[in-house]
Structure 1
Amino acid sequence: MTFVRGMPGESHGVPGAACGRRTLLKAGLAGLAIPVLPGLFGTAEAAVPPSGTTARYTMTTFTYAAENTVHVYDSVDATAFRLLKGPAYTPPTGLSRDPSIMRHTDGRYYLTYTASWTGNQIGLASSTDRVNWAFLGNITIPGTGIGNSWAPEWFIDTDGSVNIIVSLHFNGAPNGTFQPYKITATDAGLTAWSAPAPLTGIPAAYIDTFIVKIGSTYHAFCKSTSTRSIDFATAGSLTGPYTIWKTANFVDYDGEGPTAVPLDNGGWRLFFEDYRNRRFWFTDSRDTFRTWSPPVLLPGLSGTVKHLTVPRENVPGGPTLPTGPRVLRSVNFPDRYWNADGGLGTTRTTFTIVPGLADPNGYSFRAADGRYLRHYAFGLRMDTGSGTVFAEDATFVARPGAVNGSVALESFNFPGRYIRHRDYSLWVDPHTNTDLFRQDSSFTAIAP
């Protein structure tokens, strides 16, 4: 392979959650004496980062407005994304559809993307800060009769090898008969690549194949071009053979371009696009993709972004709460405080802030009588109990609040829902991309 240089409702059991184009990124490069960087774009399992660090999800996407520009967003919770720069990258010629991002062992970020509607080349660009990008050139995929090279996805295996999964369509084959292939970098500079190898067991009726690895098993998410479903497959090696074992049953959404990322509670979030209706959805799973939560619209960006990647890495930063006795005060109603009946009132209740019952890097709130603040039917109340469900209902993750010194508290077992006051009651509500929600869900912890 040659590289062409270019010009510069809530249920109290295990919550469910709901395969396409994005490849989960791990770390390293096989066969080369290069150190593995910690915290690279996702691990097989995630947990709440320790104090002083935070999860960071970087979204690269193109939009309905242009097929040759890449926009970059980021988020601490895989729900509320803010624009870092848009457009952040435009190639010298051609397209930049389906941009997939990874962080390499040299500390730089790299994009690969669909460079043209036809042909056997995919694009490559790099950045030191995720914001300012430089075109590196196009990777030419060798082979006879390649008519289309679409939706390349980075996949960094646990052996350190840097791979790109790309959907190839060959001249003369029926329309829609794409099949996933992998190419592997053979040098640290990503300038030389192996010949394409098919992912056997995934038929030619699938496109947008996205791979994650959990333990020794490779999980493929694949968009069926015949049934319009997102199907799942597993294999013991990256190139297969894969066995298709489950359909996600999002046929009504005609979902494509899915990307899966790990969450702080150990579950996974799957993003996918309902491209016919110009909407982007996400859904969560905590049982290795067997069940999924009802799909939720991506707030603020649904209808704007297309075919995105959202890998995760842990970075320094993030808010912390002081442990011990504290009073929780509303940011936008500073004369009102959390109280013991699960409301926001003028009477102060002192809570003892303790390490989270479900994860010690989260937080739980204990009253003087030993009861804990937990959500039930998405309302907040004081309660006693034991077991996994109770512990998770009573655990919250600190996120940046709307003003300096404040925090927002995300539900541990329902990511994307935050403690928020509404009608002077406390609820665990889904995030909305509004200033009012950010104010209503921000609190300060003060001495009693």
Structure 2
Amino acid sequence: MPTRRTLLATALAASAASVLPAGAVQARTSSAAATAYAMAYFKESPNETDDSYALHLAVSTDGLNWTPLNQNDPVATPTAGTQGLRDPFLQRRQDGTFAVLATDLKGRVFDQNNQYIHVWDSADLTSFTGYRRVHLHDLATHAWAPTSFWDPARGAYAVVYSAHNGTRDVFLVNYTTDFVTMGPPEVYFDPGFGVLDGYVLPRAGAFYLAYKNLDTGYLHVARSPDGAPNTYTTLTGGLRQGQAIEAPILVASPTDETFWLWGDSFSPSNAVFYAWGSADLDGDTWSPLNQRDYTAPISAKHAGITPITEAEYGTLVARWGEPRWRRLKSYNHPDRYVRHANHVARLDPFPLEPPADQQWRLVPGLADPGGTSFESVNLPGSYLRHVDFALRLAPQDGTALFAEDATFHAEPGLADSAWVSFRSHNHPDRYVRHQGFLLRLDPIDPAAPQAAREDATFRITP
């Protein structure tokens, strides 16, 4: 049986690392070298309190569970055009460095034309240089959601993006060798109905395009033998989770044994990432993943994912730092997180406002440094404590009783030992659990019903 301190340390480490390997699109690094992953994204929250139209980064060791860097604050911000970005994408260049592409659009107003995209250069994602707006076309339309891939037959990068042809949205493409000088635009994919958010994954000599069908609202995957314009055949019948979905991302494991398709909800009021898994890119066998198996950064929207090496992962964490806070994700309601609302501790579905209500500093136990106390991020000095066995957020009053009420001991999850349960310090027969989505302390033993044990099981995650 691990010690409480060891268990908590292990749980914290698991919040930034998991056991399922994953890879991602557009990388020159070999599959064997791609042992970690970087995500670029912007942020939106339901009431706009956490909106950030700038470049954000997160890292993962499995491609499914993500640790935001730089405290989930921007690492680069556009200074020209609209001075905001959406839909950032990370392109691994042939020389191992990166280009960062993004839509030149700030906010939630989508009726403006823009013929440019934002571009940065980066040696290793620890700094961003050469910022510029790159011109793609002279059409009276937009240039949304730019992605790219290396086309070996042309010896150039294909920059694929959404634009309107006067009748419907299609994908255009420009070819470039340096992301400075662009070739002329041409139609890349026009299936006869409106499409949005193209994302190309080269794999095993073929090219796979994920896209949104604007007529139906579903995501699809198509295949081309060579990645050339207008050579794709759609493979899937249509995928959707939630009320609406967009921004597909194709992610491949290093061994090509597993593939993931990400998408995020269309509305900022329901800014949730969803995922599917498949063992066959050429088939129509995508199965939804349980949200228990993946966690996206807070408020993240329309991301791009690329594989990085273990050394690059360490360099990014050292440069930008891991969050000083954590969240508690429910085991049996993995779309919900522990938060405080009107000083009551409860489980609410993600996303929630304000986002900081779900962020906690896990500090040494106030009554026992071998335990844990949960300090609020947006109300510093206030801690989760139990009062008549109900958990509340209250300012520390310096008493011994408060310290004991606010101290908990991490143990292997009662429903899943890879997760965590928290036992009360001064009522050691009782555990933190939710009931009616309110948090309280109840006696729970290993023979308790499965539902009760699941209520008392959480994941510590950024």
TM-score class normalised by the smaller sequence: 0.5 to 0.7
Percentage of matched positions with identical amino acids: 17
User: Quick one: distance in 1 between partners of 2:220 and 2:209?
Assistant: 8
Aligned pairs for 1:336-415 within 5 A: none
Is the aligned partner of 1:281 residue 2:282? no
Q: Deviations over 1:93-116 (max 9, x none)?
A: 322110001222344321111013
> Structure 1's 119 and 112: CA in aligned 2 closer, same or farther, altered over 3 A?
same
Gaps (5+ residues) in structure 1?
1-22, 28-37, 40-45, 320-419, 440-448
User: Quick one: distance in 2 between partners of 1:425 and 1:226?
Assistant: 42
Is the aligned partner of 1:311 residue 2:302? no
Q: Which amino acid aligns with 2:26?
A: L
Aligned pairs for 1:49-60 within 5 A: 49=32, 55-60=35-40
Q: 1:156 aligns with which of 122, 140, 150?
A: 150
Q: CA deviation at 1:120?
A: 0.9
**1:218 aligned partner:** 207
Q: CA deviation at 1:80?
A: 2.1
Q: TM-score of the superposition, structure 1-length normalised?
A: 0.57
Q: 1:260 aligns with which of 230, 243, 250?
A: 250
Q: CA deviation at 1:249?
A: 2.8
Residues 36 and 59, structure 2, Cα contact 8 Å, conserved in 1: yes
Is the aligned partner of 1:169 residue 2:164? yes
User: Quick one: distance in 1 between partners of 2:180 and 2:312?
Assistant: 34
Q: Which amino acid aligns with 1:295?
A: L
**1:125 aligned partner:** 120
| Total equivalences in the alignment | 286
Q: CA deviation at 1:127?
A: 2.1
User: Quick one: distance in 1 between partners of 2:417 and 2:152?
Assistant: 43
Q: CA deviation at 1:280?
A: 0.7
> Structure 1's 209 and 318: CA in aligned 2 closer, same or farther, altered over 3 A?
closer
Q: Deviations over 1:132-164 (max 9, x none)?
A: 323521111234x33111000021234453121
**1:409 aligned partner:** none
SS in 1 for 2:235: strand
Residues 202 and 208, structure 2, Cα contact 8 Å, conserved in 1: yes
**2:69 aligned partner:** 84
**1:368 aligned partner:** none
Q: Which amino acid aligns with 1:26?
A: A
Residues 270 and 283, structure 1, Cα contact 8 Å, conserved in 2: yes
Is the aligned partner of 1:70 residue 2:51? no
Q: Deviations over 1:71-90 (max 9, x none)?
A: 10111111221122321110
Q: 1:269 aligns with which of 255, 260, 265?
A: 260
Q: 2:237 aligns with which of 229, 234, 247?
A: 247
Q: Deviations over 1:353-374 (max 9, x none)?
A: xxxxxxxxxxxxxxxxxxxxxx
Q: Which has the higher contact order (CA 8 A, sep 6+)?
A: 1
> Structure 1's 140 and 54: CA in aligned 2 closer, same or farther, altered over 3 A?
closer
User: Quick one: distance in 2 between partners of 1:303 and 1:313?
Assistant: 22
**1:138 aligned partner:** 133
**2:366 aligned partner:** none
Aligned pairs for 1:89-104 within 5 A: 89-93=76-80, 94=82, 95-104=84-93
Residues 262 and 275, structure 2, Cα contact 8 Å, conserved in 1: yes
Q: Deviations over 1:319-363 (max 9, x none)?
A: 9xxxxxxxxxxxxxxxxxxxxxxxxxxxxxxxxxxxxxxxxxxxx
User: Quick one: distance in 1 between partners of 2:169 and 2:460?
Assistant: 43
SS in 2 for 1:228: coil
Residues 228 and 251, structure 1, Cα contact 8 Å, conserved in 2: no
User: Quick one: distance in 2 between partners of 1:148 and 1:54?
Assistant: 34
Q: CA deviation at 1:422?
A: 3.1
User: Quick one: distance in 2 between partners of 1:424 and 1:274?
Assistant: 30
> Structure 1's 115 and 201: CA in aligned 2 closer, same or farther, altered over 3 A?
closer
Q: Which amino acid aligns with 1:178?
A: D
User: Quick one: distance in 1 between partners of 2:67 and 2:241?
Assistant: 30
Q: CA deviation at 1:207?
A: 0.8
RMSD: 3.3
SS in 1 for 2:143: strand
Q: Deviations over 1:194-244 (max 9, x none)?
A: 111212453341111111123333221110111000122222232123222
User: Quick one: distance in 1 between partners of 2:263 and 2:183?
Assistant: 30
**1:111 aligned partner:** 100
Q: Deviations over 1:30-67 (max 9, x none)?
A: xxxxxxxx43xxxxxx5xx4xxx661110000000335
User: Quick one: distance in 1 between partners of 2:203 and 2:34?
Assistant: 22
> Structure 1's 108 and 278: CA in aligned 2 closer, same or farther, altered over 3 A?
same
Residues 102 and 111, structure 1, Cα contact 8 Å, conserved in 2: yes
Residues 280 and 303, structure 1, Cα contact 8 Å, conserved in 2: no
> Structure 1's 317 and 163: CA in aligned 2 closer, same or farther, altered over 3 A?
closer
> Structure 1's 428 and 270: CA in aligned 2 closer, same or farther, altered over 3 A?
farther
SS in 1 for 2:296: coil
User: Quick one: distance in 2 between partners of 1:70 and 1:318?
Assistant: 18
> Structure 1's 114 and 166: CA in aligned 2 closer, same or farther, altered over 3 A?
same
> Structure 1's 124 and 313: CA in aligned 2 closer, same or farther, altered over 3 A?
same
